[in-house]
Amino acid sequence: MAPQKPEPIVIGGQTVKGRIRSAAWKWAMASLRKWPDLACEIEIRPVQDTRSARANRFLWGYVYREIVREMQGRVTAAALDELHESMKLRHNPIRVTDPVTGEERIVGGSTRRMSISEFSDFIEAVMLDGSEAFGIVWREPREDEAWRKRDERTEAA
């Protein structure tokens, strides 16, 4: 059996006057000492702004809760997770190949690395499903709702 390839090392940094500044650079170089000798590549690219924690809280704390409440009358963590998996399959399908059988399958893709625009479109599609399937009329958001509060720990980066 061939040795497993190591997980990629991803570090963030900032370009300043044509140089890369990163506090994680020494850590990354130390991590490479554990790698076997093999060909690798280094890619430097601008960071893509991904969905915010606030938008994610809106999806889970308001949109999904309203749909589950309409479907089942009460909200449970399991029902929220199940709804999220079905919405990912419906609105963010990806094709994967089973490594053993070679069979192609369609699964719900992760929303974690979606751009702000992609995640906004995803939320709108889910809300449209809620409106069409259950007649949910989405109210205008209010500033005092918990999902609207800024989370400095997750949005500071």
| Tens-place pLDDT, residues 29-86 | 888 888 888 888 888 877 776 778 888 888 999 999 999 999 999 999 999 999 999 9
Q: What pLDDT is attached to residue 157? A: 37
d(CA 11, CA 155): 18
d(CA 98, CA 113): 23
Tokens 């990806």 — which residue?
Answer: 94
CA angle 53, 95, 126 (to 5 degrees): 40
Q: What pLDDT is attached to residue 72? A: 93
Instruction: Take residue 18 and report the two structure tokens written for it.
Output: 């044509």
Q: Give the predicted TM-score (pTM) of the model.
A: 0.63
Burial class (CB in 10 A: 0-12, 13-18, 19+), 59: buried
Q: What pLDDT is attached to residue 1? A: 57
d(CA 95, CA 105): 6
Q: What pLDDT is attached to residue 152? A: 47
- Among residues 120, 115, 117, 109, the alpha carbon closest in space to that of 87 is found at 109
Length of the chain: 157
